[in-house]
Amino acid sequence: MNELSTPPLAPQPDRTQPARTVRRRNRRRATSLFAHGEPMVWLTGGALGLCLVMITGLLGLVLSRGLPTFWPVPVLELTTHSGERIGGEVALVEAFRPEPEASSEGAPAARPELEERRMLRTGNYDLTGVHFRWVPEREVASERAPEWILTIERLEWGRFFGTPTALDCDGVRTEGEPAQVWQAFEAAHRAARETWRERRAIETNDIGAAAKIKEQARLAIRDAQLRYGARSSEAEAVRQQMTTRVAQADAELARAGEQVERLKALNTGRTITLTTVDGVQSVIALDQIVRAFPANRLSWSDKLGVYASRVREFLFDEPRESNSEGGVFPAIFGTVLMTLIMSILVVPFGVLAALYLREYARPGPLVSAVRIAINNLAGVPSIVFGVFGVGFFCYWIGAGIDELFFAAKLPSPTYGKGGLLWAALTLALLTLPVVIVPTEEALAAVPRSMREGSYACGATKWQTIWRIVLPRAMPGIMTGMILALARGAGEVAPLMLVGASKLAAELPLDGTFPYLHPERSFMHLGFHIYDLGFQSQNSEAAKPMVYTTTLLLIALVVVLNLIAIWVRARLRRRFQGAQL
């Protein structure tokens, strides 16, 4: 064998030393457990598992509290030992410890044991003045589920629980068994609601359009007076022209008002009489009832129908009862529209800024300072951006726009207040670093050989950027856009100052010219959650809606992100074959 290829012999232990000393040295020479990486595998894997547990726990809490919100529950009648009867839906069951009773001898009282109590949603707020009531189990003598007690969801005053005793519809009165009254109610209620919807459409469309014409005429007259003088011939001509339009609008208002009064008269005699569990009778107009059902007689398919009806109302109707009931469609619409406008504003400017920093700017102290400022900007609290948006966009730029173009409406501001445009611009500034940093990294990841090959073919720098660099950096740019969408859709603090409102009378996008109205306030799901959780007059009634709206906001953000991820995947597959 070639002696160059002979492996070296292992060092032999010194036979002259004791065996214990040799074993100790061999133990010190053994490889450490950390060198193999097993402890770090457990540490990193455990951290990942903990993150997944927290995320799953959060989503599980929101799902478990949000999904059952619209499921109909039975209505119970509880009779206390004192003879009081209480009716309502069981909203919560919990264990509590009653207050210890004071001892007559002054000795400390024994600590009471835990007891159970139920929180009933009693409804009937117009009669009792309360929405919920706690009932300890030790005070309940008996309970039952009345067969024909109805759950009534109203436009005002919340829910009502009672047994039907009579129905009045178009001069015909139906009395007798609850089953007969309920059968007559189903047909009469459908007609009453159709009449109410027709009246509502006239009030919203016809009366609203005529009122807008009158307001536009008033502004046109004032604008002519400010521009030409109050006594000028031009102002007088405009006034005469607008007087004709106002007369036409008044005629339209009178006609629409007559139709509204006629429809009101049709529904005046349509009422239902119900008796509560404590024997009090109440008369409710049928057109004020959104939904009614016998809660204790519903089959599984009937409950599913009520659930679907409530979900449809939640997604496509307007809120009512201080946002604690009804739908959130204006908030969904405002959230999506504001997020899209923010993305349209922030992505081009962020990409252009990243292009300059990466492709054009020479490395130096100034560029380094700009990069440090961008990274620091990402850590500024969002409420600071809201204050900046109010001061810069609303009170400076907006006030200037009002003085130049909307002087006739002053002192009532048009752009000098919070609105959709200012909210989108404020969030665009907030998310600008989120777009710049991933875009710069994506531009840096494009191989230099591709740029050099483009230059060798005679392309200019901009042609190289437009044709070679940007297409291959597009997946990274889309990553920045996804992060901006996720953060912008969930921000609330800036919106509280620059445009989001508790209730928006009009959507910022409608069928009237110029169709998009960026000066209008809008509703936002994040602000809606804050309003329900902290500003609602009935926090217990609003608590299920908080979880449901939170679930909807998470789902909306996920949908927007999935769309962006799908686009990014298509771009990556398109340019995957061109990567070097």
Task: Return d(Cα 357, Cα 363) in angstroms, integer.
Answer: 9
Of the listed ranges 71-80, 181-190, 435-444, 505-514, the one predicted with least confidence: 505-514
Of the listed ranges 80-84, 192-196, 260-264, 542-546, the one predicted with least confidence: 542-546
Mean pLDDT of the chain: 85
What is the per-residue pLDDT across 19-70, written as a single tens digit (0 to 9) for each? 555 455 555 555 555 555 677 788 888 899 999 999 999 899 889 888 888 9
Percentages of the chain per state (helix, strand, coil), in multiples of 5 = 60, 15, 25
Q: Which residues contact 344 (CB under 8 A, 6 or more apart)?
A: none
Judged against a pLDDT cut of 80, whether residue 579 lies above it is answered with: no
Task: Return d(Cα 333, Cα 336) in angstroms, integer.
Answer: 5
Judged against a pLDDT cut of 50, whether residue 1 lies above it is answered with: no
The pLDDT score that the predictor gives to residue 22 is: 47
> 159, 171, 172: which is closest to 130 by C-alpha?
159
Of the listed ranges 104-113, 468-477, 488-497, the one predicted with least confidence: 104-113
CA angle centred on 174, ends 173 and 177, rounded to 5°: 155
Task: Return d(Cα 503, Cα 318) in angstroms, integer.
Answer: 9
The HSE-up count of residue 331 (CA atoms within 13 Å, CB side) is 30
> 89, 284, 281, 282: which is closest to 185 by C-alpha?
284
Q: In 122-269, where do the E strands start and end? A: 132-136, 140-144, 150-154, 159-169, 172-175
Q: Which residues pair with 93 in a beta bridge?
A: 118
What is the per-residue pLDDT across 286-301, written as a single tens digit (0 to 9) for each? 999 999 999 999 999 9
Tell me which DSSP letter residue 505 carries.
S
DSSP for 332-375, please give it: HHHHHHHHHHHHHHHHHHHHHHHHIIIIISPPSHHHHHHHHHHH
> 542, 541, 414: which is closest to 123 by C-alpha?
541
Percent of the chain with pLDDT over 70: 91
- Give the max Cα distance, the chain: 125
pLDDT band at 5 (very low <50, low <70, confident <90, very high): very low
Percent of the chain with pLDDT over 90: 36
Question: Contact, 170 vs 270, CB < 8 A?
Answer: yes
* Structure tokens, 577: 């074959």
Judged against a pLDDT cut of 90, whether residue 513 lies above it is answered with: no
43 burial type by CB count under 10 A (0-12 exposed, 13-18 middle, 19+ buried):
exposed
Using alpha carbons, list the distances in angstroms from residue 412 to 403, 406, 408, 417: 11, 9, 9, 9
Task: Return d(Cα 308, Cα 314) in angstroms, integer.
Answer: 10
Average pLDDT over residues 351-377: 89
Task: Return d(Cα 122, Cα 151) in angstroms, integer.
Answer: 11
The pLDDT score that the predictor gives to residue 19 is: 53
* Structure tokens, 194: 């159709």
DSSP for 195-215, please give it: HHHHHHHIIIIIIHHHHHHHH
The pLDDT score that the predictor gives to residue 580 is: 41
Using alpha carbons, list the distances in angstroms from residue 159 to 127, 155, 293, 538: 11, 9, 12, 13
Task: Return d(Cα 33, Cα 333) in angstroms, integer.
Answer: 57
Task: Report pTM.
Answer: 0.84
| Distance between first and last Cα of the chain | 47
* Structure tokens, 340: 């899209």
Average pLDDT over residues 168-185: 89
Question: Contact, 116 vs 137, CB < 8 A?
Answer: yes
Judged against a pLDDT cut of 80, whether residue 264 lies above it is answered with: yes
The pLDDT score that the predictor gives to residue 2 is: 46
Tell me which DSSP letter residue 390 carries.
I
The pLDDT score that the predictor gives to residue 430 is: 92
Average pLDDT over residues 528-548: 80
The pLDDT score that the predictor gives to residue 499 is: 85
> 416, 407, 399: which is closest to 220 by C-alpha?
407
pLDDT band at 4 (very low <50, low <70, confident <90, very high): very low
